[in-house]
Amino acid sequence: MLKRFVSYYRPYKGLFLLDLGMAVLSSILAILFPALTRHLLSVEIPAGNLRAMVVIFILMLAIYLIQTVSQYIRITWGHILGVKMETDMRNELFAHLQRLSFGYFDRTKTGHMMSRITNDLFIIAEVAHHGPEDFLISLATIVGSYVLMFIYSPPLALISLIPFPFMVFYGSYFGRKMRATFRRVRSTVADVNSNVENSLMGIREVKSFGRETFQTEKFQEVNNILKESKMQQYKVMGSYHALMGLFSNLYYFFTVVGGAILIMRGTIEYYDLITFILYVGIVLPPIDRLINFTEQLQQGMASFERFVQIMDEHPAIQDAKDARELTVKDGTIVYENVSFTYENTDTAVLSDVNMTIPGGETVAIVGESGAGKSTFASLLPRFYEPQAGRILIDGTDITEVRQSSLRKEIGFVQQNVFLFDDTIRENLRYGKVDATDEQLWAALDAANLGQFVRSLPLGLETQVGERGTLLSGGQKQRVSIARVFLKNPSILIFDEATSSLDTESEELITEAFERLSEGRTAIVIAHRLSTIRNADRILVLDQGRIVESGTHQNLLQKNGQYAKLYKNQDFM
């Protein structure tokens, strides 16, 4: 774990060494001041050497000035080092999340991921900056001070060390307890973030069902858990800091008591006691720094462990080592003995599915809710991997080609369209990054949305709002269809895209889809009959199996499962 953490320093060795160099310089200068004071009191003042005294005063001022510059460099460039490392980790984490398979997102709360990307990485950055610096300053200052203290008076140096072993033992014991409380708090913070995100993203549902009080109570419940976790954390921290503060004060007590006795016995001089008191003043801040470092280190370790947890999560679906680019000619799709079961479930969603869709054919998939229709479509772009069987496009197993090239050839229009909180132009360019305005307007016209966008004051620069909330459901669907027009894929998947729209929007979208599907292989997941009347073939799924296949009229004449669905309108 430590080796892995240290690897993030490598690109910034220069800044790291500068920070540590300033830390060492600060420690040396701090140690020199009491030594100069002792020399002043023991030699120059008794001798009345004014010139030497002035030189010592100038050296003391120089120490303060150099320490000021050193502190500026440490604080400024040390934090910049932490920010750079934090940025690298955040980029790496975000890129890694983009590579993970759908299964990971199915079982992981968005709020937890957001907490790791923001809060956890900030804490790690603080440790990356302050950790080595604080540890080195503290170690150098304490060791250097005690070397001189033992030179001046070994008995008094030993006496002043009496509280030290108690501080080490106590710090180690409570360090473990603090680490456990920090982990609990970080986990609970992620739960709070997740709860807030769910509630705010579903605010329309909350208000439409009048569930504001329920959501508030639900939030208060998780917020109270966070409160209890933080209260426990602060109780541990309070005990830790209070007793460590007592031990720090005992340094002065033992030094003064021991020094007074040794002066009375003639073992040391008064200026030795003054020097030791100054050194105790120098040693105590590093001890405080170590206390804070211990606390911060526990948080940082807990946060870095959570970061590593995600980074060690491997995509469930990966390209084969010899994966090649997919070249689609006809667009013929074949499912051979395909079976699929979701993680942590025992019930198969698809069982031994066999089906061939000739290139250029439009096939509709119908069935009751939970029959496996959307799963059937999701396996084609390898959003999920079947446990048995294989899927081929133009005779090529899709596991043998790069995922990027496979998904480049597939256009997906979903029931719940996601639009980014940006302009219509930028949402369309998701289909083709370098699309010209002429191509954007052509795609909008083909999707039956061009006239509407031209009527807007800002046209293509119109903001769509978070998740496209400033557009109607039909308008969002047509933006998504225009986006697929720009992508120009060989295969289309139309997943229940008109199931929740009004008749007028449905007609516009159906017309746009028929235009889009010309010359392409298309799979239509259908709830409404209007989207499948003109399909070349209809497949009926029931409990994960294809039970019927044929045209609309043929299936009605068979008077089987499709006819039953048609009469009951269960899937409309």
pLDDT, tens digit (0-9, with 9 covering 90-100), for 462-496: 988 877 788 887 888 888 888 888 888 899 888 86
Find the helix or strand (DSSP H, E) in which 297 lies: helix 270-311
In whole angstroms, what is the distance from residue 182 CA to residue 167 CA?
21
CB 562 within 8 A of CB 556: yes
pTM equals 0.69
Q: What percent of the chain has pLDDT over 90?
A: 15
Q: What is the pLDDT of residues 328-381, one digit of tens each?
A: 888 999 999 999 998 878 788 898 999 899 999 989 898 887 788 888 888 998
Lowest mean pLDDT among 30-44, 195-209, 248-262: 195-209
User: pLDDT band at residue 438, thresholds of 50, 70 and 90?
Assistant: very high
C-alpha to C-alpha distances, 163 to 34, 135, 254, 260, nearest whole angstrom: 22, 20, 9, 18
pLDDT of residue 333: 93
Cα–Cα distance, 6 to 124 (Å, whole number): 12
| DSSP state at residue 314 | P
Domains identified in the chain and CATH numbers? 2-190+230-311 (1.20.1560.10), 418-488 (3.40.50.300)
* Tokens linked to 567: 């009469």
**Residue 73: phi, psi to the nearest 5?**
-65, -45
DSSP string, 352-403: EEEEEE-TT-EEEEE-STTSSHHHHHHTTTTSS--SEEEEEETTEEGGGB-H
Q: What is the pLDDT of residues 394-415, one digit of tens each?
A: 999 999 999 889 988 988 888 7
- Per-residue tokens: 36: 């100069």
Strand order in the sheet with 388-393: 350-357, 333-340, 388-393, 396-397
